[in-house]
Chains A and B, each alone.
Chain A
Amino acid sequence: QSALTQPASVSGSPGQPITISCTGTSSDVGAYNYVSWYQQHPGKAPKLMIYEVTNRPSGVSNRFSGSKSGNTASLTISGLQTEDEADYYCSSFTSSHTVVFGGGTKLTVL
């Protein structure tokens, strides 16, 4: 299985919105509504931010939202804050009943 495609880096200023894309295939992202997004700060374990494309776990800020169109999913962070600076990974369930991650995106808050 091939990794999902994410931009290597994105940046934005505090208060601005940013969007991170995650492109897969009809066998993963396009097959199910089982796309998740994780935030990882340096030296820390990943944290689930979005599951099943659009759902936020309890305690995750509503500034984080997810969407999907075809084989591409997106994570949007509205009103960027300095603490949002981290690496972000998407993942998708696949038609083979496995999970595949994206390569990760480094978010810089300018």
Chain B
Amino acid sequence: QVQLQESGPGLVKPSETLSLTCTVSGGSISGFFCSWVRQPAGKGLEWIGRIYTSGSANYNPSLKSRVTMSVDTSNNQFSLRLTSVTAADTAVYYCARGPGGRNLDDWGQGTLVTVSS
């Protein structure tokens, strides 16, 4: 059974860069789209973007100028970088995987990232 696990700092200062990594075990990321989704406390899901194992990526237009995703197939990991963060970026961040990138079959447990000085 495939498992996804997010890792990274739980606290980021305003104006700095949020960096998270998702490690996939029990299955390969090769041939899959890897996605990031976030959820502020008490609010709905927001799609951040997706990256294919070839490195081709699509991002949410509202975040596109600040987001970069990368993939490391040799270590079965993919990563998220979000620059110039503000308090509005405080959320639980989920990584997820799906064969076509249009639906998210497998999810990590989520990691809370708080933006505060």
- Contact of A52 with B103 at beta-carbon distance under 8 Å, contacts A1-B61, A99-B35 already known: yes
The interface bits of chain B over 32-54 (1 if a CB of A lies within 8 angstroms of the residue's CB, else 0) are: 00010100000011110110000
Cβ-closest chain B residue relative to A6: B44
Task: Verify A45–B61 contact, CB threshold 8 A.
Answer: no
The interface bits of chain A over 43-87 (1 if a CB of B lies within 8 angstroms of the residue's CB, else 0) are: 001111001100001000000000000000000000000000000
Query: How many inter-chain residue pairs (CB < 8 Å) link A and B?
Result: 65
Does B104 belong to the interface (CB within 8 Å)?
yes
Distance in Å from the Cβ of A95 to the closest Cβ of chain B? 12
Cβ-closest chain B residue relative to A36: B103
Task: Tell me whether chain B's interface is mostly helix, strand or loop, or mixed.
Answer: loop
Number of interface residues of B (CB under 8 A): 24
Task: Verify B59–A46 contact, CB threshold 8 A.
Answer: no
The contact of A93 among B46, B60, B102, by CB within 8 Å, is B102
Number of interface residues of A (CB under 8 A): 26
> What residues on B are CB-neighbors of A3 within 8 Å?
44
Distance in Å from the Cβ of B100 to the closest Cβ of chain A? 8
> What residues on B are CB-neighbors of A52 within 8 Å?
102-103
Distance in Å from the Cβ of A51 to the closest Cβ of chain B? 4
The contact of B102 among A36, A40, A103, by CB within 8 Å, is A36
> What residues on B are CB-neighbors of A36 within 8 Å?
102-104
Which residues of B (49-106) have their CB < 8 Å from a CB of A?
49-50, 58-62, 94, 100-105
> What residues on A are CB-neighbors of B14 within 8 Å?
none
Task: Verify A98–B94 contact, CB threshold 8 A.
Answer: no
The chain B residues found within 8 Å of chain A, CB to CB, are 35, 37, 44-47, 49-50, 58-62, 94, 100-105, 107-110
Q: What 4 additional pairs, Cβ within 8 angstroms, besides A36-B102, A91-B103?
A: A1-B61, A38-B104, A51-B103, A104-B45
Q: Identify 5 residue pairs between A and B in the complex whose beta-carbon atoms are under 8 Å apart, listed by A's number.
A: A40-B45, A46-B37, A48-B103, A91-B103, A98-B60
